[in-house]
Amino acid sequence: MTENRRIRPGSLLLLLLVVCVFILARSMNSSGTVAYSDMCRYFREEKVQSFTITGDVLKAKLQDGTLAACTIGSVESFYSDMDGLIQQQVQSGTVQQQDFVHATNWVTTLLPYVMGILGFLLIVRLMGRMNGGAAAQDKMAKFGQARVQMPGRGEDRVTFDQVAGADEEKEELQEIVEFLRDPDKYLQLGAHIPKGVLLVGPPGTGKTLLAKSVAGEADVAFLSISGSDFVEMYVGVGASRVRDLFEQAKKQSPAIVFIDEIDAVGRQRGSGLGGGHDEREQTLNQLLVEMDGFTANSGVVVLAATNRVDILDPALLRPGRFDRQVYVGLPDIKGREEILKVHARNKPLAEDVDLAEIARGTAGFTGADLENLLNEAALLAVRRGKSLIGMDDIEDAFMKVLTGPQKKSRKMLESERRNTAYHEAGHAIVGYYMPTQDPVHMISIIPAGQTLGVTVSIPTTDKFSVYRSELNERIAMILGGRVAEMLTFGDFSGGASNDIQRATSIAHSMVTQLGMSDVLGPIRYGSSHGDDIFLGRDFATQPDYSEETAAKIDAEVHRIVNEAFAAAKKILTEHADKLKFVAEYLLEHETMDGDQFNAVMDHDATAEELEKIAEDKKRRSSEANKAQAEADEKEKAEAEKKENAPEEAESGETAQSPEDGEDTDDNGGSSD
């Protein structure tokens, strides 16, 4: 079977270009090109037999049969230079023939233009091929169409069962699902469903997953697009894509239109230096028009997601466009446990893994963070050759996510290691004697990320309010590392710079934002926007308080920090023995977990007892993985045995028992 091959336009253009170059070269080189002076010499020496003048080109045939050509200024100037010699040679018969072609040689005249056109077409063709050839042309034709993504429906759809830790949010969106399923019961009561629902919340909290689950629950078309897809350098493209998006949605009604990161196109109009009526504003205007253009209960619902609702245009947030805002916040302890259960479905966990405990220790984690935590733990377990994911793997993954990968190969001076050990021990011990602070989970002097050591404290419950006493004690705990260096070595290191920055920031917020200063009272000082400059907003913000007030603020911040420093110094002075023990243990073992630290602080545990605690944890983890490995091997052997059984039966290697065959009597005969 032969394949039909068609000539590509690019190949044809290249071929024509080569032919034109060949013609031009031949036209110029068909006769030997000589200088004008040499041609005049040929005439004076009577070597020319015949000649032809075409335009400004003189072609001559010499007496020996060779051809020569040259360029002349004009016929008149050439005959003037010859001074009647040519007329004499013609009369004498030396020059047998002379011809004059006054028409322009179209080959030599038009060929440069033809070559230029062909070259331009060839370049355009090559650029088109670089951008996808014919596919690029089709893409240009569809440039103004919305590039929507439509996830699968049916069995592949996402439902509410796959969304954990967002029960209230799912209840808010359940109305959308019910309307898309059965709009008549709403119409009977004169109710109409919100045209748009805006999902607001920090990154990674599951806004996009919630939108997909709404479409999956209702089993309707789901048209997803990112806000950045509307932004193009060409004028009018964004507005065109908005129109095309809603046209597609109306054709597939009932449908859900989901615009992710809508702040890319929905930012406030007229903001920034000089304002401006740019392409982004045209796109936003078209979006506003399309959302207003929906007829009541058209069966198209718009969902959008953003983590910057503060910068959206007010016209976008009014009723009739985005009627409802659903805040998708950080999951609570119950939600985190449910999320962990979802992500742990396909992961073999050891018996010592307590998802409830992990949920308690991951306050502030989003759903994406929890998924990443379990995935990192699984990767660590594989790296260690385990069959099960143990609690130690999850704890190590937690530290990796929190501080970055450990850099055990980094060589530190012994003085730096000792200083780091006492610094971290100071944090932990001061935090232990502060009743409002979270318990210590891990102390490490192994360099990780940008830190030489770290003390991790994990809250036992979710906190939604903060009090002055808690913040004062937090500052003291933060400064505990610097105080420990001063008491032990009589000197400071630059490693406490981040601690100082955090302590000062907390104290400044207490005075200027939280109203926790008795001197300045419950007054907020400074712009409500802080340092967030959005397109010129607050570009030239001036403090809204006097220099006298600024001095009072500085004095209050100084007082809060100094009092916390004094409190930390008092604790570490009274418990210098605990400080030394914890630091020396860290110098020898590099890490100390929360159980070991509490054993030291509560029961004055010895180093041998701490090592026993660590060994017990390793032993339990090893036994669990060994049991799981044996179970896996047994299951694998049974599966192989079942696979081989049919082959053995077919080959007749296994005998048929009476129970497997026909019923027989004692005489071997068949029984009825």
Q: Which residues are catalytic?
A: 424
Question: DSSP for 86-139?
Answer: HHHHHHHTSS-EEEEE-S--HHHHHHHHHHHHHHHHHHHHHHHHHTTTHHHHHH
User: Contact, 177 vs 214, CB < 8 A?
Assistant: yes
User: Contact, 336 vs 206, CB < 8 A?
Assistant: no
User: Contact, 369 vs 331, CB < 8 A?
Assistant: no
User: Contact, 341 vs 164, CB < 8 A?
Assistant: yes
Cα 198 from Cα 173, distance rounded (Å): 11
Helices 414-432 and 594-603, axial angle in degrees (round to 10): 70
Cα 527 from Cα 543, distance rounded (Å): 7
What is each CA distance from 22 to 14, 109, 364, in whole angstroms? 12, 15, 75
Question: DSSP for 524-572?
Answer: --S-TTTT---TTTTTT---SS-HHHHHHHHHHHHHHHHHHHHHHHHHH
Cα 156 from Cα 152, distance rounded (Å): 6
- Amino acid code (one letter) for 139: K
Cα 430 from Cα 422, distance rounded (Å): 12
3-class DSSP assignment, residue 169: helix
Helices 75-82 and 85-92, axial angle in degrees (round to 10): 80
Q: What is the 3-class SS of 613-629, one letter each residue?
A: HHHHHHHHHHHHHHHHH
Beta-bridge mates of residue 60: 51, 68
